[in-house]
Amino acid sequence: MEKEENPNKENTELNKPDGTKIEPEVNTQDTDPKAEDDNNKTEEKTPDEKIFELEDKLARTFAEMENQRRRFEKEKEEAYEYGGFAFAKEALSLIDNLERSKQILENDETLKNSEALKKTLEHLDIIYKNLISIFAKNNIKPIESLNKKLNPNFHQAMMEVEDDLIEPGTIVQEIQKGFTIKDRLLRPALVGVSKRTTNKDKKDEENKENLEKK
């Protein structure tokens, strides 16, 4: 008796319309594990390269740490030396007020040539000198101005005074005293500087023109 085919049996074979079988696709990619290991080995760094890379990273880290240390030391030094900059600048108003008070008293007609004025001015001078001494101990020093050449780094010209006997640009008047703290400018000195008179300038120009004509 002929064996019947099971109708429920899955037919795993596929045929083309012409009846020929479709061959299953074969993966032609090389899956040789030895070849993959060889590729990985070529990408790995040698021990010498790894050591060089670590040394480079270590050197960069130490350099950055040293730079940070220097910046910290500089900031700490500046904070110590110039930490009172704002306070010192405000304290200069004490000297300004003392000088103004002295000028007001000296110009008061009712106090002129009086013993009271003389003693008051002496006390004001003592206070002024004490303040200057305290400032000097903290590296705050007045800027020398009178009879000096104008220096834009320390002086600020507020007016010009005509004077043919003094070289132009010479400080002949100090309106407000300037100060430095260590090597920094705390406040510029407000000054008046000399200049030649207008007639003198014209005369010099005329003399120059005459010499050129000759």
Distance CA 199, CA 176 (A): 30
3-state secondary structure of 89: helix
Q: How far apart are CA 101 and CA 117, in angstroms?
A: 12
Tell me, which fold does domain 140-204 have in CATH? Nucleotide Exchange Factor Grpe; Chain A, domain 2 (2.30.22)
Phi then psi for residue 170, to 5 deg, are -90, 140
- pLDDT value at position 56? 85
CA 77-187-78 angle, to 5 degrees, is: 5
The rounded Cα 117 to chain-centroid distance in angstroms is 49
What's the pTM? 0.54
The tens digit of pLDDT for each residue in 62-107 reads 888 888 888 877 766 666 666 677 888 888 988 899 988 998 988 8
Radius of gyration of the chain (CA): 47
Assign 55 a pLDDT band (cuts: 50, 70, 90). confident
